[in-house]
Amino acid sequence: MTPQTTFPQAGLTETIREDLIDSLPSRDANNIGVEHGAKYRTSEWYTGSGEIVPGNDSRSFEVTATFTLKAQVKLIQGIFDPSNPNLAEIYNSRGRCIAIIDQTVDKLYGESVRQYFDTHEIPLQMNVCRAWEADKTPETVHRLLEFLGKDGCDVSRNEPVLVIGGGVLSDVAGLACALQHRRTPYIMVGTTIVAAIDAGPSPRTCTNGKQFKNSIGAYHPPVLTLVDRTFFRSLATGHIRNGMAEIIKMAVTDDKVLFELLEDYGSRLVETHFATLGDDQELAKVADEVIYRALFSYMKYEGTNMFETYQDRPHAYGHTWSPRYEPAAKLMHGHAVSTGMAYGATLATKLGWLQPTERDRILALIRSLGLSVYHPILEDIDLMIAGQQNMRRKRGDGGLWAPLPCGIGVCDYAKEVPPDVLEAAVADHKAVCAMFPDGGAGVEMYLKDLGLE
Ligand SMILES: NC(=O)c1ccc[n+]([C@@H]2O[C@H](COP(=O)([O-])OP(=O)(O)OC[C@H]3O[C@@H](n4cnc5c(N)ncnc54)[C@H](O)[C@@H]3O)[C@@H](O)[C@H]2O)c1
């Protein structure tokens, strides 16, 4: 039988260093590993193990390695309230905090952030970064790398960078952290709903490519995501709606209770910016439950499949065709996703997976929150097919694996959607949406970022 030896990562290095071989206690891999693994760890945030299997011919061998990371997510209120110990406890022992903050968030909350670290006598080096959708480019990532690198604050590989902002910042700053030292940890404070419940804890850091959104990136989740809905108070209502789209996708595909909560309270949550405007304590409890459920459901799939090794990903609902038409139609991300979800519901009905009444319930929920269910760009079948082809490549060419609902709170995956079915479902969807007085349009559906024209 082929001998098989398991080493924790650092132990493996030691065993091949000639000068150390004699000093090793034994060739018992497990013993060596535990000892050396703890002693020579690169970073407190990550662990791993490996396996080397020699061939029988003394001329070949096979190596496998597993990388383990822990990502924590916490809901807290008042992150930068000086009495809140969460961040101080992390950065005190490190003697400083290196941070990247969204320019708009800096204007609104920068003073509180500085005050917080001042009160705790922790030196703060903070880069203020403009993070419009149009800034989601490799150039922005390069600028952040200059800040993190030798010419900037020379971050250590075991020093978590604090990232404070929305989904655009979490994508680009997360990618910069992934590239710096090949992996530098970061802590995410998501200040928009999208960043709090989706882009923030997500491992998918990225920039946009020329034609496709989010097409260049690396898998690098934050080691800790702190979610504080008090930031939502200052968000534009359009961005609250945007975030709702990402919550609806988890409700439709995975969590019926969440779906019902949104039916009952969704529009009040939009109006009150998740119970941060006004003083409705009952609604505040619902807001926390909605955020927690959406996060839990998302991380249940995304967090346990950090490297997208598998494509049964319910959170890709609404994200199969829209990444191609979102930039072309200059839609807000949430509206692109909501039209994608609505189209997906009609397609699922056509395939016999979903009852028409369930489709109508999904469309009614999306519309009740001011999100779009239809945009004429869906009729550009060539574009839809191009989007589908791109997604097939992105999902590994084993299939399209488009998540589609097969009830409320459950989904399955379409391996293929033939062009004629795709086109017929667009016609069905157009007919369904023609019954709405506004044709299925949403409120403030277009992107207003400067610099995108
Ligand atoms: N990586 C992923 O898994 C993932 C998932 C979902 C979305 N995304 C990406 O996230 C991006 C959208 O994120 P977003 O919706 O957070 O947009 P965003 O980051 O553009 O933020 C929206 C706007 O709100 C401002 N802002 C941020 N926090 C604020 C606050 N508390 N008060 C007032 N203004 C505030 C920002 O400056 C910006 O102008 C898209 O690029 C999308 O592709 C990524």
Give the model's pLDDT for residue 448.
77
Whole-number pLDDT of residue 209:
80
- Take atom 19 of ligand 1 and give the residue whose Cα is closest: 166
Q: Is 157 helix (H, G, I), strand (E, B) or coil?
A: coil
Residue 374 alpha carbon to ligand 1 centre in Å: 22
What residues contact 211, with CB distance under 8 A and at least 6 apart? 324, 327
Which residue is listed with tokens 């409700």? 251
Which of 103, 108, 170, 171 has most ligand 1 atoms within 8 Å of CB, for mutation? Answer: 171
Query: Residue whose CA is closest, atom 13 of ligand 1?
Result: 167
Q: Which residues contact 346 (CB under 8 A, 6 or more apart)?
A: 359, 425, 428, 429, 432
| pLDDT tens column, 58-71 | 899 988 888 888 89
Q: Could you read off the pLDDT of 181-198 as tens digits, one per residue? A: 999 999 999 999 999 999
Of the listed ranges 46-55, 117-126, 207-216, 415-424, the one predicted with least confidence: 207-216
> Rounded to the nearest whole angstrom, what is the distance from the C-alpha of residue 223 to the centroid of ligand 1?
19
- For residue 64, the CA-to-ligand 1 centroid distance in Å is 37
Closest CA to 367 of 270, 236, 256: 270
Residue nearest atom 30 of ligand 1, based on CA coordinates: 235
pLDDT class of 133 with cuts at 50, 70, 90: confident
The CA 160 to ligand 1 mean position distance, Å, reads 21
For residues 36-65, average pLDDT? 82
Please name every residue paired with 124 in a beta bridge, in sequence order, or none if there are none.
97
331 bridge partner residues? 446
Query: Would you tell me how many other CB atoms lie within 10 Å of the CB of residue 434?
Result: 10
Biggest distance spanned by C-alpha atoms of the chain: 81
3-state secondary structure of 277: coil
Q: Which two tokens stand for residue 280?
A: 């409705």
Query: Can you give the length of the chain in residues?
Result: 453
Q: Nearest Cα to 403, choosing from 318, 309, 326? A: 318
Q: Which fold has domain 308-433?
A: Dehydroquinate synthase-like, alpha domain (1.20.1090)
Distance 175 CA to ligand 1 centre (A): 15
For residue 168, how far is its CA from the centre of ligand 1 (angstroms)?
Answer: 5
| C-alpha angle 113-176-328 in degrees, rounded to nearest 5 | 100
| 3-class DSSP string for 256-272 | HHHHHHHHHHHHHHHHC
Domain borders along the chain are 5-69, 72-235, 308-433
For the CA of 136, the closest atom of ligand 1 is 41
- In the three-class reduction of DSSP (H, G, I as helix; E, B as strand; rest coil), residue 248 is classed as helix
Specify the ligand 1 atom closest to the Cα of 449: 39
Element containing residue 100 per DSSP (H, E): strand 97-102
**Ligand 1 centre distance from Cα of residue 192 (Å):** 6
List the structure tokens of 293. 């459920």
Radius of gyration of the chain (CA): 24
Residue with tokens 């992107």: 447
Contacts with 206 (C-beta within 8 Å, 6 or more apart), sequence order:
136, 171, 172, 175, 214, 215, 216, 217, 218
Q: Are 388 and 343 in contact (CB under 8 A)?
A: no
pLDDT-above-90 percentage for the chain: 77
Going by alpha carbons, the residue nearest to atom 25 of ligand 1 is 104
Mean confidence (pLDDT) of the chain: 90
Asked if residue 158 lies in contact with residue 43, where contact means CB atoms within 8 angstroms, the answer is yes
- Give how far Cα 383 sits from Cα of 50, 186, 330, 446, Å: 44, 37, 14, 19
pLDDT, tens digit, for every residue of 304-338?
A: 999 988 999 999 999 999 988 998 999 999 999 99
Residue nearest to atom 5 of ligand 1 (CA): 199
Ligand 1: residue of 107, 163, 189, 194 to mutate (most ligand atoms within 8 A of CB) is 194
Question: Residue 375 above 60 pLDDT?
Answer: yes
Query: pLDDT of 395-421, one tens digit each?
Result: 886 899 999 999 999 999 999 999 999
Residue nearest to atom 7 of ligand 1 (CA): 199
Burial of 264 (0-12, 13-18, 19+ CB in 10 A): exposed
Q: Which of 16-20, 62-66, 358-362 has the highest mean pLDDT?
A: 358-362
CATH number of 72-235: 3.40.50.1970
**298 and 198 in contact (C-beta within 8 Å)?**
yes
39 CA → ligand 1 middle, Å: 40
Q: Give nearest CA residue, ligand 1 atom 33.
A: 235
Which segment of 49-58, 237-246, 426-435 scores lowest on mean pLDDT?
49-58
Amino acid at 263: E
When pLDDT is cut at 50, 70 and 90, the band that residue 3 belongs to is: very low
Residue-level pLDDT at 417: 96
DSSP collapsed to 3 states, 333-393: HHHHHHHHHHHHHHHHHHCCCCCHHHHHHHHHHHHHCCCCCCCHHHHCHHHHHHHHHHHHH
Give the ligand 1 atom nearest the CA of 246. Answer: 6
Query: Among 56-65, 158-167, 427-436, whose mean pLDDT is lowest?
Result: 56-65
**pLDDT of residue 271 exceeding 50:** yes
The rounded Å distance from CA 432 to ligand 1 centre is 31
pLDDT at 211: 66
Enumerate residues lining ligand 1, CB below 6 A. 102, 104-105, 108, 131, 133, 136, 165-169, 171, 191-192, 194-195, 198-199, 202, 204, 213-214, 231, 234-235, 239, 242, 333
| Average pLDDT estimate for 371-393 | 95
Q: Which residue has the tokens 């998302």?
A: 298
Give the mutation target among 170, 192, 213 for probing the ligand 1 site: most ligand atoms within 8 A of CB. 192
Q: How far is the CA of 243 from the centre of ligand 1 (A)?
A: 9
Contact 303, 221 (CB under 8 A): yes
The closest residue, in CA terms, to atom 10 on ligand 1 is 167
d(CA 125, CA 377): 45
pLDDT digits (tens, 9 = 90+) for 433-442: 999 999 999 9
H or E segment and range at residue 165: strand 161-165
Closest CA to 134 of 451, 421, 433: 451
